Amino acid sequence: MDPRDLRVSDAEREHVGILLQRAVGQGMLSLGEFTERLDTALAARTRSELNAVLADLPGIRIVAPVAAPQPPPGYRPPPHYRPITYRPPPPGYRPPPPGYRPPLPGPNHDVVRGWFSNISRKGAWRVPPHLQVHARMSAVTLDFSQATLSSPVVELAVDSAFSSITLVLPEQATVDVNAIQLLASDITSKVRTGPPAGGLHLVVRGRISFGSATARHPFGTGIRRMMGQGGSQP
């Protein structure tokens, strides 16, 4: 079978989305062209259909898989032999910088991952002091309004592409979103910034590419605040 006729996976479609994003950053595609080609890539079924959206972009291609070498006739593996399968890094992987230490496992760290998914955390979920969000073509909602906090200050590290992130914070909470790097994205905050004023102070860092982030209070907070102020008047 021609490698171009092989079926492609969601990971390969997402990889093409990252390549198209890179082409926009290099000035080879406009945002309108990027949107059109991304829709085509998400609907592609074969490798040739994926390559079609990259055909006129110099130096950007999907490499067809190479068949693994076969052992010679009559070869027998030694006893207790277990083959080792090479797994390439996922699309968008970047090697860690020198001196990088991965987060320690345990109650102080948590990771939210989403690939082509809708993820929601709400209610009395436990929030560690350090939280990470890795999202690709997903919608992520983190509702802190009724959450159980391990620390009054929570650091949220975001690595998002083609995704939306919604942060719902309690009425007295504050948020700091000044350390977010944006690429063709937008961020909206309806929550008061620092310094902390009691309760939760959320510090958001990281990168958002071709997506959005929103920090807000629960729906109806403004109305309840107005009614409370009105009731306190003589």
Provide the pLDDT for residue 150: 87
What are the respective helix, strand and coil percentages of the chain, to the nearest 5? 20, 30, 50
Task: Provide mean pLDDT across the span 126-150.
Answer: 91
Provide the pLDDT for residue 17: 79
Question: In angstroms, rounded to a whole number, what is the distance separating the alpha carbons of residues 13 and 41?
Answer: 6
Residue 190 amino acid letter: K
Structure tokens at 161: 């592409």
- DSSP element (H, E) containing 225: helix 221-232
Count other Cβ atoms within 10 Å, centred on residue 150: 14
Q: Which residue has the higher pLDDT, 234 or 49?
A: 49
Range scoring the smallest mean pLDDT among 14-18, 145-149, 154-158? 14-18
Residue 233 predicted with pLDDT over 80: no
Instruction: Give the dihedral sign, CA 120/18/22/92.
Output: positive
In contact, 91 and 18? CB cutoff 8 Å:
yes
Question: In angstroms, rounded to a whole number, what is the distance separating the alpha carbons of residues 18 and 53?
Answer: 12
In contact, 160 and 112? CB cutoff 8 Å:
no
What is the per-residue pLDDT across 50-108, written as a single tens digit (0 to 9) for each?
888 888 887 665 544 444 456 677 767 666 555 544 455 556 655 555 554 444 444 44
Count other Cβ atoms within 10 Å, centred on residue 92: 18
Grade residue 114 by pLDDT with cuts at 50, 70 and 90: confident
Name 176's bridge partners: 203
Using the structure block, give the residue that is written with the tokens 């944006």: 182
pTM of the model: 0.54
- What integer best gives the mean pLDDT of the chain? 77
Name 102's bridge partners: none
For the chain, give the percent of residues with pLDDT over 70: 69
